[in-house]
Structure 1
């Protein structure tokens, strides 16, 4: 029987709001830190399907969130496409070879690198209560491509933005390849038990409007269309972080079933600007959750009130910070759970 989250993503405007938090499975939880201390590095955890399933389930057991988000990483797609991937302490993820100076054709695909992720989904879905939604995800092509081109994250995505202007054909080939693998990757997650999926475009905000249309809207629309053709019943959440006023065009043109709103967007503006009836997700500032205080309750209620007239999934505007006190999450949950639509 579908739970509150899945029903909301399908367009139901219930009196109570479902809640899950981006990065809810991770370093702010003592049980995660204990497991990681025994198991080793991040990538090793992702590929240990028992450990990855346990990590995915930890916040469900502790908090009773309405959705379990797969414990994995957006860079699994380029890893399966043939780039080497490592996570360095205090430096973040590194991909090689960098496509800023190597051809896409130099990569040799390793599709079997996707199989353990599907196994994690199967294990989590089997262990989840029936009213909790299993959420899969992938990175959107633009954001994934920024790492593939530069080999790492950057403040302004300079190398990738420059390549997209300088060599449109080569960059389009990268985007097209990511789209193709991402469709299959999401399909594999859905076949394994994911009931909804999210596309993370963490670096969408770095693009000029015409480039946003070309490298964010168009490839996400292609993924949504292809996945919907196979699985019309599975909701797709699009999250173009930092898109600002371009959010409305993204919502209209990509075909997503729900749109994520980051903390820089006024929720009352989003409620007016987004297509009528479209489910929204967001958008509490993660730093406010870190800080706590009465202001946390006030702003949470402001977000809830802003989206009262449409389906709304309560979430953060981005991922939960690793130093966030568990007590603040409990405080937020109490506020969200006690709210009712007038």
Structure 2
């Protein structure tokens, strides 16, 4: 495939600057769409929904039918890995994810090789979506990054991560081993996704904020390097987007030390940080505030224009700074896409 015929997202990830950036939204498949809510009601629970290839593929494709997104991201969840490693995972309505008691590290270690087999439905979902998706639209696979996944495993659900951070300080060897276990399981999982049709892989580090520099290097950057090196050792050359949400100025250190092809920026990341990353030869992605997308109005147009101005002269992927909110009006999504794509 010639460079000019490559999907726009892949061109940007190879370092190219385009007149109009590719655009997709985190959580673009989800509760803001009435067709998604109708589909979700047919599944007995959220985990079953994620691991049903027919339903998950349909959820993945729904926003692609409505909107001119440049890329589609597989419908799954970052907490499928703990479940595959033997920790109980479920979702409480109105409360979010819950995890059972953390198994021993030896027990988790013993499940690494078999964990990918338990997640083969995600691979089937990807294959179904790739077969249905137009060739000019990119398919993205993903995994939760090791620190974020490990923090859920330790905390037992959503929290302020204080228990997990304390664990990292008090039991550094155990934490490092847990991160390594999650990283190695993630390598197998992501390699399976690439084989099934994912053209881009993304690491979601949702809880990278509030970390001192030394801890950020140890529990965010180092495990990310382990994942990417593991993929390359397996011969997987698929480009990777890293999302160290909340890293602020340390996103520059992340870009300098982790071999990703793009760094996804969160809503609060300063413009100059993204510009510096672009000058180093990497793409940036982001970073519209999901609350502004929900609010809409002239302020939304102004911010979109500002983002296109501040990052559009380098390799850039337009996206949100976090996931789209469930009560976001569909016309606001259309408003942004028209402004970015001209369609």
Q: TM exceeds 0.5? A: yes
Structure 1 residues 222, 46: CA separation in 2 closer, same or farther (over 3 Å shift)? same
Match of 1:135 in 2: 140
Question: Once the two structures are superposed, what CA deviation does each residue of 1:42-63 show, in whole Å capped at 9, x if it has no partner?
Answer: 2121111100000000011100
Residue 192 of structure 2: aligned partner: 188
The 1-side partners of 2:16 and 2:29 are apart by: 26
Show CA shifts across 1:176-203 (max 9, x none): 1011100010000000000001000000
Aligned partners of 1:64 and 1:113: how far apart in 2? 33
Given that 1:268 and 1:307 are in contact with CA atoms closer than 8 Å, whether structure 2 keeps it comes out as no
Using the TM superposition, give the Cα deviation of residue 104 of structure 1 relative to its aligned residue in structure 2, in angstroms.
Answer: 1.8
| TM-score (ref. length: structure 2) | 0.94
Matched ranges for 1:89-168 at <5 A: 89-98=93-102, 103-107=104-108, 109=111, 111=115, 112-154=117-159, 156-168=160-172
Equivalent in the alignment of 2:73? 69
Out of 293, 306, 309, the position equivalent to 2:313 is: 309
Q: Matches of 2:44 and 2:235 in 1, distance apart? A: 36
Q: Which sections of structure 2, spanning at least 5 residues, go unmatched?
A: none
Q: Which residue pairs with 1:234 in the alignment?
A: 238
Q: 1:20 to 1:231 in 2, by over 3 A?
A: farther
Q: Give the secondary-structure state (helix, strand or coil) at the position aligned to 1:39.
A: coil
Matches within 5 A, 1:321-332: 321-332=325-336
Check whether the contact 2:293–2:333 (CA below 8 A) recurs between aligned residues. Answer: yes
**Equivalent residue, structure 2, for 1:216:** 220
Are 2:290 and 2:323, in contact at CA under 8 Å, matched by a contact in 1? yes
Map of 1:24-103 to 2, 5 A cutoff? 24-98=28-102, 103=104
TM-score, normalised via structure 1 length? 0.95
Structure 1, residues 87-109: CA drift from partner, whole Å, max 9, x if none? 111111111113xxx52224462
What RMSD, in angstroms, separates the aligned Cα atoms of the two structures? 1.5
> Is the Cα contact below 8 Å between 1:248 and 1:274 reproduced in 2?
no
Describe how 1:188-337 pairs up with structure 2 within 5 A.
Answer: 188-231=192-235, 233-272=237-276, 275-337=279-341
- How far the C-alpha of 1:266 sits from its partner, in A, is 2.1
How far did residue 16 of structure 1 move? 1.2
Cα shift at 1:12: 1.3
Work out the number of aligned pairs and report it.
335
Q: CA 1:18–1:132 in 2, change beyond 3 Å: closer, same or farther?
A: same
1:289 alignment partner, SS class: helix
SS in 2 for 1:21: coil
- Is the 8 Å Cα contact of residues 205 and 244 (structure 2) preserved in structure 1? yes
Structure 2 CA distance for partners of 1:232 and 1:46, relative to 1, 3 Å: closer
Give the conservation status (yes or no) of the 8 Å contact 1:252–1:275. Answer: no
Q: For the residues of structure 2 that align with 1:272 and 1:5, how far apart are their CA atoms?
A: 20
Deviations along 1:100-120, whole A, 9 cap, x unmatched? xx5222446252321111111
Classify 1:303/1:19 alpha carbon distance in 2 versus 1 (closer, same or farther; 3 Å). Answer: same
How far is the alpha carbon of 1:232 from its aligned partner? 5.6
Shift of 1:161: 0.3
Distance 1:71 1:229 in 2: 27
Q: Distance in 2 between matches of 1:290 and 1:231?
A: 41
With over 3 angstroms needed to count, the CA separation of the structure-2 counterparts of 1:230 and 1:309, relative to structure 1, is farther
Answering whether residue 20 of structure 2 is matched by residue 16 of structure 1, we say yes
Contact kept in structure 2, 1:281 and 1:313, CA below 8 Å: yes
Contact 1:199 1:236 survives alignment (8 Å): yes
Contact 1:157 1:206 in 2 (8 A): no
Q: Deviations over 1:135-158 (max 9, x none)?
A: 00001100000011111110x201
